[in-house]
Structures are given as C-alpha cells and as structure tokens.
C-alpha cells in the first residue's frame, strides 16, 4: 500500500550504490533555482493578473515574441506569428498532434532505434507503428522512401514520420546535412509530414547544432517540437511547436486549449520573463560547459575501461553515448549483473519495436559528476570484461 508520507516530489528513483546511466535526466545541481525564483516574481510584476488568467491559446505573447526572435537568430528562419505555438513540452505536444492530426490506426513511421517513450504515446492513440532501420549516420532517407513505397503498394497512406534528427535519443547521432536534404526531398515527393523531435538542440557542444529539418524544409513538410526541458528545466513542462499556419491553427483550436486557454500559462509567463531578462542564454552557456565536460569525461573513461571490441561515436550534443557491444552480448541480459556491480544503463532493446538492439546500450551523461561517470565506466568495463 502506497504511503502518503512517502510520496516523492521527483520522478527519479535512486538505487543506493548504483551510478545509473539509464536516466536521461539533468543534474539537479545545474537547474536554475535562483533564476526561476526571480523570473516568477518578474512575470507577476510585469504581466500582473494576465499571467494567471485563462491564457492566449497560442501561448502568451511575450514568450512567443521571444521565441520568434530566438529561433530566427539561431536558425536563420523565424516562424511567422501564426507558425508557432507554446506547448506543454514535447511529450504533451506529440500527444496533441496524435489526437488532433491523426486517425486511430493510421500508420506512422519511426526510426529504429527510437525514443521509447514517444513510442508509448504514439501507440496509445492508437497508431500503427512501422520501423525504419537506421545506420551509424542515423535515419537513411532511402529506407524511408522504400518503406513509403511498400506501404503504398498495400494501399496505405502514412500519417507522419517521427524522428529525432539532432543529438538523437538514444544514439546521440545527428543526421548529416546531406541526409537532411535527402530526407526532406523524400518527404516532399511523398507528401509525408515529418514530426521532428528537437529536444536537444540547445545542448550543442562542438559548434552550432545542425539546422533543424523545419528550417530547411518547405512550409508544411515539418512539424518541429522544441522544448525548454533540456535548455532550462524539465519540471517546467514547457515547449513550443513550429509548423505551417494550418497545423498551428488545428492545435490552437483544439478542445483542450479552447477549454483551458494556453497550456501551462503561469509557467509560460515565468519563462518569458526569464528569457527576456537573459536567463535563457546564461543557463544555456552554463549547461553546455558542464555537459561538454561530462561527455568528454565519460568518453575518455569508456576508452580506458571498455573492452576494445566495444564501439561508440562521440556525440556532438545532447545527453547520450550509444555503445555497441561485441557479438553475442545482450545488454538486457547483462543489466542485473551491471546493477550488482553498481552501474546502470538503458539496454538497446528498449529503443526497438521488434525486441532487437540487444547489442547496444544507451549511456546518459547528464546526471552525474565527472568522477561518477569515470567510476561508472570502470564498473561497466569490469562487467563487460568479465563477459
């Protein structure tokens, strides 16, 4: 029986003695507590009761204006005022896209491996998921084209493709500029909508993030889901969506927003004040410096401690290093042994629709110190070496 006194504040559950790289969470010590304290006060001073009333369905004007400017400056393409809407974070935005823009049973493409919890949301609607294999460079545009053609032969029309092209979850890989162009060409030719999960864009460690598919594609091809979860704090549950005006209008005019006003309005005003006052930029600089150092620490430790027949690619952003184990190993089967040795990870099976991916594991480097990451790699090396 659940004890009310023990109900926690946060989602994460720590196992004593385990450095669990399975959690794709930020380090609480990096969250901007003081900045958001100031911002909440500033929002209520600046916008007054408007920050607490039923909000504009599209999101509060100040946050939309800041986002339009920020996106324009970062990506070289600013959404028009009717091409952006504030969301309750990517998970919630994806949920709304499914409710309002799909019909039950519609086929939807997902890359494989893919973000496992997006799969949960898609299936709940219920959509019929079709996996497209990717390689070391991420999603293969020709594989997308082949899958579309195969479904067409069965008389089925795809609703959309869900993909994380930048600092992918789980692989950390970003699509090359060439693949981005080719993927967009395939989508345009097939009339396919791409739902671009762009959660990690602000966490670019080696120069600017690749251009978003949204910024590269003709209007109407891409619905891009952005987020403040990784760039500011996940507990805000705040993000945004850029797309063509008709798609934005469909979401703006949906029942949930019409009934309740803008999603998460008080928080959206708080984040508007934070952004207006320079807090977004400052927090981004702080996070990039911290996570870059952690990525480097984990990568160096993997090089030191993992058996030489393990392989991985250094991600240029995001939270994850995707490790491929030698033939014959099974990440899910190894996990109990790893936990016993004081290290955790997310086994590759979790990110595959078909139970495959067992030779891979996702290591997240956001939550732990460099020393902990080094120790985690040492423990993992022992578990793998003891094969």
Within 251-280, the residues that bind its own copies by CB under 8 A are 254-256, 258-267, 269-270
Question: Rounded to the nearest whole angstrom, what is the least distance from the CB of residue 141 to its own copies in the complex?
Answer: 27
Q: How far are the Cα atoms of 16, 22, 121, 277, 290 from residue 231, in angstroms, in the given order? A: 28, 20, 23, 15, 12
Q: Please choose, out of 97-105, 139-147, 322-330, 358-366, the segment that lies near its own copies by the rule CB under 8 A.
A: 97-105
Question: Rounded to the nearest whole angstrom, what is the least distance from the CB of residue 115 to its own copies in the complex?
Answer: 8
Which residue lies nearer to its own copies by CB, 113 or 141?
113
Fill in the DSSP letter of residue 50.
Answer: G
Which residue lies nearer to its own copies by CB, 90 or 131?
90
Q: How far are the Cα atoms of 136, 140, 180 from residue 176, in angstroms, in the given order? A: 11, 10, 6
Instruction: Among 14, 54, 303, 304, indicate the residue that binds its own copies (CB under 8 A).
Output: 54
Distant-in-sequence contacts of 73-78, Cβ < 8 A, 24+ apart: 74/201, 74/208, 75/211, 75/212, 75/214, 75/215, 76/211, 76/215, 77/214, 77/215
Question: Rounded to the nearest whole angstrom, what is the least distance from the CB of residue 146 to its own copies in the complex?
Answer: 28
Residues forming a β-bridge with 129 = 108
Which residue lies nearer to its own copies by CB, 13 or 386?
13
Nearest to 240 by CA among 53, 38, 33, 68: 68
Looking only at residues 201 through 260 of this chain, which bind its own copies when binding is defined by CB under 8 A?
A: 229, 233-237, 254-256, 258-260
Question: Rounded to the nearest whole angstrom, what is the least distance from the CB of residue 233 to its own copies in the complex?
Answer: 4
Which residue lies nearer to its own copies by CB, 147 or 227?
227
**Token pair recorded at residue 53:** 């009333």
Contact between 60 and its own copies (CB under 8 A)?
A: yes
Scan for tokens 């994460």, then name that residue.
Answer: 12
Question: Rounded to the nearest whole angstrom, what is the least distance from the CB of residue 267 to its own copies in the complex?
Answer: 5
Contact between 170 and its own copies (CB under 8 A)?
A: no
Contact between 11 and its own copies (CB under 8 A)?
A: yes
Which residue lies nearer to its own copies by CB, 44 or 300?
44
Which residue lies nearer to its own copies by CB, 117 or 151?
117
Contact between 73 and its own copies (CB under 8 A)?
A: no
In a 13 Å sphere around the CA of 56, the CA atoms on its Cβ side amount to 16
Which residue lies nearer to its own copies by CB, 90 or 145?
90
Question: Rounded to the nearest whole angstrom, what is the least distance from the CB of residue 168 to its own copies in the complex?
Answer: 16
Contact between 2 and its own copies (CB under 8 A)?
A: yes
Contact between 169 and its own copies (CB under 8 A)?
A: no
CB 170, CB 121: distance < 8 Å:
no
Sorted by sequence, the CB contacts under 8 Å of residue 144 that are 6+ apart come out as: 109, 132, 161, 183, 186, 187, 192
Angle (CA) 327-120-126 rounded to 5° is: 125
Contact between 58 and its own copies (CB under 8 A)?
A: yes
Question: Rounded to the nearest whole angstrom, what is the least distance from the CB of residue 387 to its own copies in the complex?
Answer: 32
- Within 10 A of 30 (CB to CB), how many other CB atoms are there? 14
Which residue lies nearer to its own copies by CB, 117 or 300?
117
Sorted by sequence, the CB contacts under 8 Å of residue 108 that are 6+ apart come out as: 102, 122, 127, 128, 129, 130, 158, 159, 160, 161, 162
Q: Please choose, out of 123-131, 207-215, 311-319, 326-334, the segment that lies near its own copies by the rule CB under 8 A.
A: 123-131
In a 13 Å sphere around the CA of 358, the CA atoms on its Cβ side amount to 10
Q: Please choose, out of 114-122, 135-143, 156-164, 170-178, the segment that lies near its own copies by the rule CB under 8 A.
A: 114-122
Contact between 90 and its own copies (CB under 8 A)?
A: yes
Peptide bond into 195 cis (omega under 30): no
Which residue lies nearer to its own copies by CB, 121 or 222?
121
- What secondary structure does DSSP assign to 238-273, as a single string? -EEEE--HHHHHHHHTSHHHHHH-STTHHHHHHHHH
């Amino acid at each position: 029986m659940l004890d009310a006194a023990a109900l926690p504040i946060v989602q994460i559950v720590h196992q004593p003695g385990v450095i669990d790289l399975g959690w794709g969470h930020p380090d609480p010590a990096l969250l901007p507590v003081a900045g958001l304290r100031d911002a909440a006060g500033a929002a209520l001073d600046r916008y007054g009761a408007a920050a607490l009333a039923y909000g504009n369905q599209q999101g509060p004007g100040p946050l939309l204006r800041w986002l339009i400017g920020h996106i324009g400056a970062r990506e070289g393409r600013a959404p028009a005022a009717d091409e952006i809407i504030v969301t309750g974070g990517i998970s919630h935005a994806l949920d709304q896209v499914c409710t309002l823009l799909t019909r039950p049973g519609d086929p939807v493409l997902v890359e494989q491996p893919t973000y496992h919890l997006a799969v949960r949301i898609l299936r709940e609607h219920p959509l019929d998921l079709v996996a497209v294999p990717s390689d070391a460079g991420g999603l293969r545009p020709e594989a997308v084209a082949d899958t579309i053609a195969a479904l067409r032969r069965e008389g089925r029309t795809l609703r959309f493709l869900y993909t994380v092209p930048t600092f992918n979850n789980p692989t950390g890989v970003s699509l090359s500029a060439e693949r981005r162009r080719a993927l967009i060409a395939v989508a345009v030719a097939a009339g396919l909508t791409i739902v671009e999960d762009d959660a990690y864009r602000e966490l670019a460690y080696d120069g600017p993030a690749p251009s978003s598919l949204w910024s590269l594609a003709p209007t109407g091809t891409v619905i891009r889901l952005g987020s403040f979860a990784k760039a500011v704090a996940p507990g805000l549950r705040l993000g945004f969506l850029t797309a063509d005006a008709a798609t934005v209008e469909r979401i703006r005019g949906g029942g949930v927003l019409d009934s309740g006003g803008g999603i998460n309005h008080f928080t959206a005003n708080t984040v508007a004040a934070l952004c207006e006052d320079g807090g977004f930029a400052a927090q981004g600089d702080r996070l990039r410096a911290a996570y870059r150092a952690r990525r480097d620490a984990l990568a160096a430790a993997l090089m030191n401690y993992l058996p030489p027949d393990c392989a991985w690619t250094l991600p240029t952003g995001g939270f994850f290093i995707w490790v491929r184990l030698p033939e014959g190993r099974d990440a899910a089967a190894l996990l109990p042994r790893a936990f016993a040795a004081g290290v955790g990870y997310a086994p590759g099976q979790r990110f595959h629709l078909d139970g495959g991916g067992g030779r891979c594991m996702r290591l997240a480097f956001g939550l732990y110190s460099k020393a902990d990451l080094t120790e985690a790699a040492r423990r993992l090396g022992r578990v793998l070496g003891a094969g």
